[in-house]
Structure formats: structure tokens, C-alpha cells
Structure 1
């Protein structure tokens, strides 16, 4: 218990110094005992430097200016010791791992054993809902750090169920602007915590683990300042004029939108966790950006805890950063949050109480976010000053490049590598040579990262710099291998790039872009199995990556195919743009099982690349091959919608349209006459089941936008099957008007074109003879004579002496005799 308590104290000391504040009044060297001989050899700087170097993991360096990094290493050491009687030791180890993630430059999957070790706790905590919910929430936050937003969202919902939080996003009448006269439905989150007894045994346990019962609302509570909007149009917050929501059946329907009760702080943490993925646009991954504002507003309305309110204000700042009327408050609020970190305006215990139930950024990450906000607003100088203070040199270099001063960026990196730059405030912009040439202490991971940065800045020497970074890191720098792989890939040296990229993904397998480039390299070398594995990893990390889904489908269509059929299309695959077009290659020799896998991959990818017309073309072709004709209809419609204005009728794949019409018309018009009438009527891929989709494709999508003779004839065949004779005649006539004969102008001299037109005239006359008598109220003879007479009148001057002219004369005579 003493070991565990000491580890918790060390972990919270590190968190206080780098997250919650105020600044620590104790140093790591003061909490460990040295012998008199060692005491003079170890300095605070060397101890912190050693801890920073040890915190580097998976080729990713730890942030080198973190305060009291030794405290985190002490905590990790104590938590790694065996515990036989303290069940929560595994939980604290999970918390230390989450903090460690936030110290690294890029997320690195630490160990699956850490997360699996806390799973048995759920059964032990089943009778303690707040602790049970806290554990589920923290696992969800760890998944969010890894970028697994869908899994994280599921964990957050699970945590809400465990704590008894009832919530629902609904609408209620209210006003959002100062001049609004009519009440309109506004989004509102109705939420209510379960009743908790302040005297219960669980509350004592929960408080010791990092949660407590909801304190009474105290307006004088020391929490970060909430800045007013002060807009001439928008109200500070939505004013709800209705005391009830539009929800009829709900457990929270009794809650008044304009006067909701305070939520328990743990429930507030769950509400905020649901809003972490601010850029999310997929409902399957949790809340979208538009839905998050009511969630954040629900928490801000009742400030009960310093850390929780800080996180709520930060999320609101992120949501408001893209809106013209709120961007000013967004930036000022973020600045206020940064300024209040070191201020001791609230108890340390209160700040730490719910820290592990939040994804509160570190003080350097919050300052970095402020600097990036300045960059977006064009305040480059202020942004660069913050980056220099934080010694985030890669961001400093980007600022210089933005100002078109690449030479300044190179000078900064070289000064750091050569030891001429000691302090963060001794920046190159002051153009003052350093008085001291003492080499700055750089750990291996940081130095390797700087060499990679120099390689990015000096393309002519990039290869040497990347290789040096790899050597300096002891062959552990994922950044160096990613840079080398990208270097060779950009130059078309795919065989050389593959080993580098494989090493990079073995060091840090969480970066989907590296897997993507590896997959593209494997495609170029026709290593289809490796390409499949790489793109599969891409979509497992980010299942909204439409390009990876498309490339995965392309790989499936090239696996287990004779090499003679591959060379014609391999050069078009793996380009990294997700635009491989299957119309140029044959799919006849592809195994059916591979086509099914490709179909599923494209179907998933199109959810996230809905406007990618090349993917829709691939999807249409594969859907036809696997018999999913209704999906082929949908794909053809999307291609027409996206491409009709640019290429006209060429956007319609007539082979596909005609096969769709064939699939409908091969069945009898009367379903009862079919061999299996039930299946024919219900199967969406043939006969009457497919008919509505094909009719919709032709009548609502294709014909209102583009037209050609072939399109009208396919439409006419469908109408013929339906026995809509007047519409059949009209469709064939429209097709004739779009043909060469119908559009031929007077003065045409091309004999081949004219003779083809003569055949078209004969065809339309035969069609009128066949279907004209079936059309109600239609004089087909008059229409046929008019067509022949008009065509002959336009072409008489140039083609009257042509032998084919006799065909027209004979046709005209036959029509006269048929009167």
C-alpha cells in the first residue's frame, strides 16, 4: 500500500507540474535518498534529462521541457512492481500509461497487457456504479488517444449507462438571436444524474479514486473565467421559451430545458468525453460537430469543478474557432485558459480530482493550440514566439517557411545540432551570435528528430540526414524510417522504400499514413499480399479513409490473377490518389471471392468518399460482376450526377445500362408467369424487383441531364417490356432526333456519315411500322413520311446522285402506298 500510495503521489506531482498547476514546490531529487558520494554527482538537470530519455518510446521522443519528468518515471517503476493485495494497482498503471501517451510526440501503442489487466476490475466494481463508470470512461479515453474514435465512443456510452446518467439530444422552442421574433426549435441536451447519497460507502471509495458526489452549486467556486460573447446579434446562450421538449417518450422528458438540474461532475466528464472528436463528421463514430454545442453548453451552465470546467471551456473554444461571430471569443478564451494554469486560485486536490476522467491537454499542448490558432488568424509572429518558448522547432520552421524565409529555419536547426543554441529565448531572429559554444544536451530521440527536420528542409542532402538520424537513434527512430521511406517512394524507388516503411510501421504501427505509403509501394512492385495487409491496417486504424478502402478493393481485384492481365493496369494502381479506374482493365479472370471482397471494400469506402466519381465507377463495375445490380444502378446515378456537366453523355456506361435493362426484361411482365414468382418479385437484382431502380435511373437521373440515341433505345426497350406503347414511340423518336440523321444539317458532305444516317432513317421507319399501330391516337404514317421528307430535303443537294438515294426514294414510295 505504501508503494502504491507513493506511486500515486509521484504521478500526481507530475500531473500538477504539467497539466493542472499550480507550479510544483518540490523537486524530484528531494524525494529520493542519495548516498553522500552520489549526491554531488547527480544534478536536477541530469536527473530530468535521464528521465526524458527513458520516457522516449517506440521511436517517439518525450517532450523535453516537461517539468519533473523523473516523477513519472518513479511512478512507472513503482506501478510495475508486483501487487498481490491491491486490486487497483493495475488501474493506476493504466492511468500512468495514459499520461505517458500525452508526453510523446506521436501516439504509440504501449502494451495490450495494460488494458487487459484492468478488465477483471469490472466484475469487482459492478456494485459501485461510479467507479465502474470511471474505469470504462478512462479506457475510452485511452482508445481516443490511439485514434480509435469508434471504440472510444462505445466506451463512453457504456460509462454513461454504468453511472446511471440519463441524457437525450432533442429540440425545444427557443431563441438564439437578440432580434428573433418567432420561437424556433433549438437543439438542447436534456440530462439528469442519478440520485446519490453523500453518506454512502461508495462515495468514500469514489472520492479516493478520483470522483466524488456532486457538490452543491456555488457561484463563488473558484473556476476558470467564462468569457462573454458580446455579440451584436447572438445571445450569450439559447433562451428556451418552452418548459418541455419535443420528446414524448423519454426518461428525461420531465426536465425543463431552461432550468436543468446540475449534473454530477463524473457525468459532466462523460458528456465532455462524447465531444472530444471535434472534427468528426460520421454519426457512427459518435457526435458530429454540429451536435456537440448543446453537450458542452450543458456542462458550462453548472461549473462544479476546476478541471471539468476548464475542459468544457476548451471544447467550446474549439467548436467556436471556425465561426466568424465566435472566433474572437474562442481565441481569447483559449488565452485565458493558458494564463490561469499557474495561478493557485483553487485547491490542488480539486484540480486533480477528475483529471483522469478528462482528456485535458498539457500546458505545452494548450499553448501550442493557442499558437496554431494565431497561425490560422495570420498572427505568425505571435505564434512563432510561443513555439520558440516551447522549443517546438518544427513548428518554428513552419512559421519561417510561411514567411518565405526557409534559410532562417535551416539556421535554427543547424544551431541546435551544433550546440550554438542554448536557451529557448536566444532565437536566430535576433541575429546575435551566442557567447557560449557549450553543446546543448540533446537526447538521442530529439537529436534524430532534428536531423529529420533538417532533411525536410534540405532536399539535396535529405538522404544523408535521414540516415544519420537513423544511426544516431540506435535504429529506433520511427520518424527517420518514415522519412526515408517517403524519400524513396517520391523518387519511384519502391523496392528500396518498402524495407524502410516496414521498419517504420514495426516501430509505431498507429500511423495510418505510413501504412498507406507502404501499401502503395507494394502495389507498384505487385506484391499484392503485402499491399492487402498494409491497406487493411490503414482501414483498421481509420475506417473513414476512403482512399485506403478503394486501394484495398483494387488489390483484391489483382490478387490471384494471371500476370499477363496485371501489367496493363498495375501502373495505374497505388498512386496514392484513390483514383484507380477499372474500366481500363478486364475483370473476367478475377476470382469471384475476390470480387466480393472488393465490392464490400468499395461499399464501405464510398461512405466516406461520396463525391469520388472514380470510386463510384469501380463500384459500379464490381457490382455488375457480383450480381448486385441495384447497387450498380445507384453507382451509375452517382457518376451521372457528378460528371454530366463536364463530359455529357459519356458519363453513362451504356454497357451497364443495357445489362440492367436486360436483367429486367428477361423476366415475364406478369410475375405470376415466372418459374419462381415470389423470388422474382422480391429480388432487387432482377425482374420486377429491379424495375423501380432502373426506371428511376433512366427517368429521374440520366434523361433529365444527358441524352443519346443509345440511351433512348435502352429506355424504349424497357418501355416495350412494360407495353407502354405511346411512350415507346416517343422514346424511339427522341433517340432518332439525337442521332446523326436527326441532327444532320443542310450542306453535309461526309458520304460515310450520310449513308449511316440513311440506315437510321430506315430503322426509325421500321420501328414506327411496328409500334405505331399500337400507340393510341398516333398517326405513325404521317410521322414517318415527315421524317423521310425532311431528311431528303436537307441532303438532296449533295447526295441526290448517290446510289443510296434510291433507298430513300423507295422508302418514300412505300409510305405513300401504305396510306
Structure 2
């Protein structure tokens, strides 16, 4: 679609704004602007940032205007140095366009320096005009130090070794000014925040207007499917970075709809190994892009799947671009990629059934970005089990098969490297591929514009984060020395200390942190090179911003538990009460010592600074539980599951809290509350409900607890404690079918270790009661709205519950465990069904494992013997009552045998009064014979 057809609601500058957003320049652009302004925008689009940023217009805009003496210049924030918004009059359209263009140039220069490479060819002091009287004070080092300090946000420090952070800071300052003519400024502000979040140690909540301000722009993009899809995708990526996975998933699907991307995860016959004889169904992602006017369709045969140069579909000049090297697997068993032997899929009704899985058409790079985003969503919204990697692989393979863009292909290779890192046959390629991706960053093997075009539509990690990931990979493989070298070069001291701790050298870690705080490390080599060895300590202290210093004090507190509180409090003071890390550490310190009021005070400050960390909310909720503040505990655990809805422990604790709240949120006495042992690791609250406590809990709270546990069990399926809690609550709210399922899961998980003790026999008996209280004849068990022809059954009682309870006995309990009560409950259920012979056998099985059936000669326990006498009488009564109803069952012989055997084994008790009862019983069964 030609650029000049873009919506024109506010005037003349929209085509240039669109070109800046789409990163594609059209020489036939219709515009009314001076050639100098147009040339600036064209250079920015083409990735040539030196000319725009060193132009006279940029030098004029980036001139430092500091009021006061030169001595206090370094103490002023950067926004006071420049005059981006004149106070006398509003900015003209051309002035706004100039600021927008230069802000985009600053942002992309920062991304090029720290994400895509190669190194930028312009330095900050070539961009910023410094008055002569300030030339000795304002240095590049000062600019970067102030920028890093000001980029700290939400109590989280910015990475201190990022290159040219002044460019990101200038971009933020320019995009934050009010724009009245440039409609796309909110979109650029969204992009800037996405980059800013990745510079911080931990993501923090963004201002609410960042996402909402682009909604009006979306309405005007309805006729531009690619721009609409790109903006929606970028919204989703920001939500993904903030941990809002469900919201991100909705954005990704909306983006696919906008670009009219057709995709389907299905199966097709194929082979995965070299020696495979039979074809089996393999997962495959079928996908097809819509045909674009400015991008002719490409034959699958022309798109190479190997790492080599190939023409990009969007390169109007027809230049070849080089993609990252794709390493071969070279395994003696696994194929390089799945070989599909069928030209059709398992789903014949699919809209994409016409696509051959082994020869799919090439996708547009934007659609590839959407598929990679969906791949991330598969990881974040699936339970933690093995199928997740299998689901992700087809997404990645679909993108890798047709390289179209340098950055997109880099992201796809990175995701494949992560997926392959846990498999023995692929871990070598995984590590070497990651190393190759790190090594390619500084190279200039592809145009800058090509690398930057889709960078905002990808969750591509920064250069230092990718190196950090490589170091962690080395560490997981046991290559500690190589990992340590990378961590030290990146000055990621927490990881350095972790490496030394893994080598049992905690003292070395303490020495490193103290050297950093006292200025004896990390700057020494640089200072010596500059001939300033005498000022090393002063230089280090000056460049160490408050956020980083606070983090180091927290790290020292972790290493020196005996002085932890002192170090954490000092970190809080150093940061001017802005370090969330300090308050999180101090809160954990108090919690471990059962100082719960102090824990609550600290963590309240921590979550106010950065509310996105679920761990802080979890410990805060636990602290509220200890002091029995159920309203506060509910808030804490609710925030946990809001941030991460797959946190099964938080769902369980939230259910526990609901059961301890009164109707108005007032606390009630808990039943068997958690022991105050001060362990942060105690995650699962005990949830034991007695009849007395149950009566004081509102039914609405019980239902909230039931739903919370049901949600949590989706992600903690093997947590038997949660299943046990779920069973108790389900019984209490009348969801007996779910209670039956929960009891079965507990037995499956615990029978090997606990035997019959894993069965809650009282619950089992109540389940049998719920079935047997209904009429045995199904026709008589008609409930509201039914009739004799079509009876309606409640799934939680009677015939509606019968199948579930029967399966519980036959498939789960009886094959694993046995006890007298279990067999008696089973016998009652069989009796209700009229299965008399099966019921008698069940009663007899129960007797055989009872005290009477297991009593041997020489027993001396009188109490046990008296109990056994009663059991003998009971089983004889059962045989008398039900034996005549069971055809071909010789109940009389069974009764005589039981009494005779028991008397023979227990003759040592002939002097006991109960012995006469046995003699009378024996005579009675003889007469009945």
C-alpha cells in the first residue's frame, strides 16, 4: 500500500510518521516539508544516525541551557539541561516532527549499540552542544553516569554497562513532551518504555497511560493491517515482559487476525530420526501470510533454510542481506529437521489443508514475529510438563525454515537454542548456536536498517543479557571458569558471587563486594590506563550511582548473615528509601526470625515500589497469616495469583485464607493453623476443617476457597496436600463428585508410602452414604423435571455419583490399599446395588484384614482380643442376614469356619468373660447348619 494513503486526520506529516514507524522509506513520498527535514527522516529510517544526530537542527535542540553556576550543573537532572518545550508558544507541526524524528534516532541508536549491533558511529558529545564554560565538567562519562542513574525506575537500577545510555534518556525526554500534531508519539512512547524495562534489573509497573494512550491510534489504523498488527503485537510484548501472560496472549491473537495470518498446529506423518522405519504423526505448524501488494509471493523453493545470504522481501533496493549462521545438528541419530512423508495433515477439514507440510510458503517477517510471540505464550500459559517444548518447536521451526530478516532469524535461533539446551543430543548445538549469536552482534554483515526494522516486534534480549544467558548455560554444563569470566566482564556481581559460592569460596565473594563498595575493583584497570591511579577510589564512588550501591550492600548482607540487618538498612538509606531490593531483603530477614509485624512493614514498602514481584507478595501474605490478619493475607495471595496464575501454592493459601475469614472480613479462630517456625519455604498452609469451625465459615467463603483450590490444582497436579485440602472443601460445599476425584488423586500419590493411611476413611464412608441414601431403583430416583422414562440424577449423590465412587474403589483404592473400614464401605455400596455375593466377599475381605482375622496364636493383648470377639460376631451376623440372598454361596460353612478358627487361635483367653459369648455363637451356627 503506498505510504501517502495513510490516514490524514491532523494534516500533512502522517506519511513521514508512517515511514518512521514502518522503517521503510518511499522516495515517492508526498510531503510539504523542507528538504532538510525530509532528509533527516530518511536517514533515520535507513539506519544512518550520525547525520541526523549531528545536524545543525539536532545540535541546536540538544544545546545545554543551564542556569546558575557551572559547579551545580552536574547536580541538576538532565531534563533541566535542555529546553525541549518552549514556554512562550506551542510547538509548530515542523518542530514536533523534528523532535519526533530525532527522538526516534536516539532510541534506535541506543538499540543498535546494545541490541542489534554493530557499534554506532556517533558519540554523545558529538550530539550534545556543551557551552565552553562547561566543557571541563560535562564529559561523556558524566553523561552516561547521570543517564544510568536517572533510568533507574521503580526501585530497580538500570544496567550500568549499557552503551550510550544518554541516547535512551534523551529519547524518553523527547517522547514525554506533549505532542499536539504528531499522532504517533504514544506509539513511540510505548516502544521506549519497552526498551527501558529491559534495561532494569527487574521489570516494574509502567505508568497507566503508556498502554491506554495508543488505543485512539488503533482506531485510525483499521485500514492498515500491518501497522495495526504491529502495534497490537508490541502491546502484547510489553504485557508479556510485565508478566501479564493472559493479556499478552489476547494481543498476540488479535495481531494475527489483524495481519490476516492463517495458522494451525496440527499433525502430519513424518520421521524424526535417521533410522526410523515407520512414519508416525509429528506436530507441524501450518501457516500462511496474506498476499501483500508491496511484497510478491515467494515460492518455498526460493527461500533457503540454511544460514546464508538471501534477498529480503522488503528491500526495495534489491540488496542481499545476510542472516545469522544456522549451525547444523550433525547428530548420528536425529535428523536436521522433521521429514514429512505425507502431503496432507491429520485434519482434513482444515482451512490450510492445501499446504504441504514439507514445502510451506514463506511468511512475511511481521507474521514470523507474531508466531514467535505465540511461541512465548505457549511457554507461559501451559502447565509445567514435557509437552510445552514439543508445542514450541513447530513455531520455531516454521520461522527458521524461511529466513527473511536478520533480527527475526536471530530470535528464532535463540528460541531453538533454549529448547535444545535440556536434551543430550542437542545441548552441544544449543550452546554453540548461542555463542555464535553473541559473536555476530558486533559484526556489520547486514545493514543496520535491516536489523532494526522489526526489532520492536520481537522480545530480542540485549547484548549483555544474551551474554548473561551464555554464561548461565556454561554454568549449567559445569564450565564454571568460562561462566565466571563472562560474569566478571559484564560486572554482574551477584552471579560472580554465586560462582564463587558454588566453588565453596564465600570469602572470595565477600572480598569482591567490599572491593566494589570501597572503589578498589572494576575501575582500577581503566584508571591506570588513564594515568589516574591516585583518584581510583574517588572516581569509583562518583560513578557508582545510588541504586547500584544499594544493590551491592544488599548482596553483602546476603553473604554476611551476621550483619545482614545492618547492611540491608544501610542499603535502604543509601538509596534514599527507593531500593525495593533492600526492603525485600529486610522483609525476608524479619520473616525468617518470626518478626512478622516488621516483615509486613518492610514488604509493604517493597511492593509499593515494585508491585510486579510475586515473591514479595507471597511472603507478605504468609506474614499476614502468622498475625491472623486475613484481609491482608487475602490481598497478598490474590496479588500473587494475579501476577502468576500458575502459582499453585498461592491458590492453596488463598483458599486457606478464605476459610479463616468471617462474613465481613473479620478474623475467626483458625483450625490447626500453620506453625510459626519462621521458614520462608513453608508454602502450603494446613487446611483442616472440623465440624465446629465449619459452622462459623460463611458458605460464600467456602465456595471461594473451593474455586481457588480448583484453579491451583491445574498447575500443582501432583501436590497431594492440595488435593487433600480440595477433598475436604469439596465435601463441605457438597461437590461430592470432585471430592471423589480428589480422594483418588491422594491415594495415587501417597499409597506407596502411606498404605491404607492415605485414605480418608471418613470421607469415603460419607461418599458411600451419599450414594446409598437414594432409592436403589433408578426409576424411583427421579429428581425435579424428570420422569420415569428419563430420570435426572444429581452428579453429587445417588445414581449420579455411583459411577464415580465405584471407579474410585475398583480402579484406585482396592488395587493399592486395604483396611477393614474400606472393605466395609465397599460392601455397603455393593449391598445397596443388590450384588449380594460380591458384598459378602467384601465383608469377608474386611474381616480377614481386621484384628480378628489377623490374630495369631500366643496373642496376649486382652483389649485387642475383646475387640476381635465383637468383629467375629459382626461378620457372623452379616453372613446370616445376606447369605440367604446370595445363591450358590455357602454362608453357613463360612460362619462355622470363622468361629471355629478364631476359637482355636485364642484358647489362651478361655478365662475371660467374653469367652462364653464365643461358645454360644459356635453352638448357634452349628444348629443353623
TM-score normalised by length of structure 2: 0.83
Q: Is the 8 A contact 1:420 1:438 kept in 2?
A: no
1:157 is matched with: 253
Pick from 526, 530, 533 the counterpart of residue 635 of structure 2.
533
1:587 paired with 2:686, answer no
Give secondary structure in 2 for the equivalent of 1:471. Answer: helix
| Closer, same or farther: CA 782–215 of 1 in aligned 2, 3 Å | farther
What is the alpha-carbon distance in structure 2 between the residues aligned to residue 694 and residue 512 of structure 1? 39
Give secondary structure in 2 for the equivalent of 1:569. Answer: coil
1:169 is matched with: 265
What is the alpha-carbon distance in structure 1 between the residues aligned to residue 331 and residue 847 of structure 2? 63
1:126 is matched with: 222
1:800 paired with 2:910, answer yes
What is the alpha-carbon distance in structure 2 between the residues aligned to residue 73 and residue 415 of structure 1? 30
Q: Deviations over 1:664-722 (max 9, x none)?
A: 11111123334636578331111111111111111211111111111111111111111
C-alpha displacement of 1:215: 6.1
1:303 is matched with: 403
Give secondary structure in 2 for the equivalent of 1:67. Answer: coil
C-alpha displacement of 1:55: 0.3
C-alpha displacement of 1:584: 6.8
Q: Is the 8 A contact 2:781 2:793 kept in 1?
A: no
C-alpha displacement of 1:801: 3.0
Q: Is the 8 A contact 2:313 2:404 kept in 1?
A: no
Q: Deviations over 1:236-290 (max 9, x none)?
A: 1112222222221112111111111110000011111122358547169999221
C-alpha displacement of 1:73: 1.0
Q: Is the 8 A contact 2:321 2:447 kept in 1?
A: no
What is the alpha-carbon distance in structure 1 between the residues aligned to residue 925 and residue 331 of structure 2? 79
Q: Is the 8 A contact 1:150 1:286 kept in 2?
A: no
Pick from 68, 77, 80 the counterpart of residue 164 of structure 2.
68
Within 5 Å, give how 1:11-22 maps onto structure 2. 11-22=107-118
2:613 is matched with: 511
1:762 paired with 2:762, answer no
1:183 paired with 2:285, answer no
What is the alpha-carbon distance in structure 2 between the residues aligned to residue 758 and residue 292 of structure 1? 64
Q: Is the 8 A contact 2:660 2:667 kept in 1?
A: no
What is the alpha-carbon distance in structure 2 between the residues aligned to residue 474 and residue 116 of structure 1? 31
| Closer, same or farther: CA 731–722 of 1 in aligned 2, 3 Å | same
| Closer, same or farther: CA 45–278 of 1 in aligned 2, 3 Å | farther
Pick from 870, 893, 907 the counterpart of residue 782 of structure 1.
893
TM-score normalised by length of structure 1: 0.94
What is the alpha-carbon distance in structure 1 between the residues aligned to residue 616 and residue 186 of structure 2? 32
1:27 paired with 2:134, answer no
What is the alpha-carbon distance in structure 1 between the residues aligned to residue 408 and residue 800 of structure 2? 55
2:776 is matched with: 669
What is the alpha-carbon distance in structure 1 between the residues aligned to residue 764 and residue 413 of structure 2? 55
1:387 is matched with: 487
C-alpha displacement of 1:458: 0.7
1:333 is matched with: 433
Pick from 714, 717, 732 the counterpart of residue 843 of structure 2.
732
Which segment drifts farther, 674-683 or 39-48? 674-683
Pick from 81, 87, 91 the counterpart of residue 187 of structure 2.
91
What is the alpha-carbon distance in structure 1 between the residues aligned to residue 269 and residue 805 of structure 2? 43
What is the alpha-carbon distance in structure 2 between the residues aligned to residue 75 and residue 285 of structure 1? 42
1:206 is matched with: none
2:208 is matched with: 112
1:630 paired with 2:751, answer no
Number of corresponding residues? 802
2:505 is matched with: 405
C-alpha displacement of 1:438: 4.0
Within 5 Å, give how 1:705-720 maps onto structure 2. 705-720=816-831
1:239 paired with 2:301, answer no
Aligned-residue Cα RMSD (Å) equals 2.3
2:578 is matched with: 476
C-alpha displacement of 1:29: 2.1
2:301 is matched with: none
C-alpha displacement of 1:645: 1.4
What is the alpha-carbon distance in structure 2 between the residues aligned to residue 75 and residue 248 of structure 1? 52
Q: Is the 8 A contact 1:56 1:104 kept in 2?
A: yes
Give secondary structure in 1 for the equivalent of 2:906. Answer: helix
Q: Is the 8 A contact 1:53 1:443 kept in 2?
A: yes
Unpaired runs of 5+ residues, structure 1, are: 201-211, 428-432
Which segment drifts farther, 755-764 or 258-267? 755-764
What is the alpha-carbon distance in structure 2 between the residues aligned to residue 470 and residue 282 of structure 1? 38
What is the alpha-carbon distance in structure 2 between the residues aligned to residue 789 and residue 483 of structure 1? 72
Which segment drifts farther, 71-80 or 283-292? 283-292
What is the alpha-carbon distance in structure 1 between the residues aligned to residue 416 and residue 396 of structure 2? 6
Q: Is the 8 A contact 1:485 1:498 kept in 2?
A: yes
2:552 is matched with: 450
Q: Is the 8 A contact 1:551 1:574 kept in 2?
A: no
Pick from 699, 702, 714 the counterpart of residue 813 of structure 2.
702
| Closer, same or farther: CA 72–691 of 1 in aligned 2, 3 Å | same
1:657 is matched with: 764
Q: Is the 8 A contact 2:371 2:395 kept in 1?
A: yes
What is the alpha-carbon distance in structure 2 between the residues aligned to residue 196 and residue 388 of structure 1? 48
Give secondary structure in 2 for the equivalent of 1:681. Answer: coil
Q: Is the 8 A contact 2:671 2:688 kept in 1?
A: no
What is the alpha-carbon distance in structure 2 between the residues aligned to residue 776 and residue 378 of structure 1? 71
1:207 is matched with: none
Which segment drifts farther, 499-508 or 678-687? 678-687
2:708 is matched with: 601
What is the alpha-carbon distance in structure 2 between the residues aligned to residue 281 and residue 163 of structure 1? 23
Give secondary structure in 2 for the equivalent of 1:714. Answer: helix
Within 5 Å, give how 1:552-591 maps onto structure 2. 552-560=654-662, 565-566=669-670, 568-571=672-675, 576-583=681-688, 586-591=693-698
C-alpha displacement of 1:422: 4.0
2:415 is matched with: 315
1:103 is matched with: 199
2:754 is matched with: 647
Within 5 Å, give how 1:452-467 maps onto structure 2. 452-467=554-569
Q: Deviations over 1:441-486 (max 9, x none)?
A: 2000001111111111111111111111100101000000001000
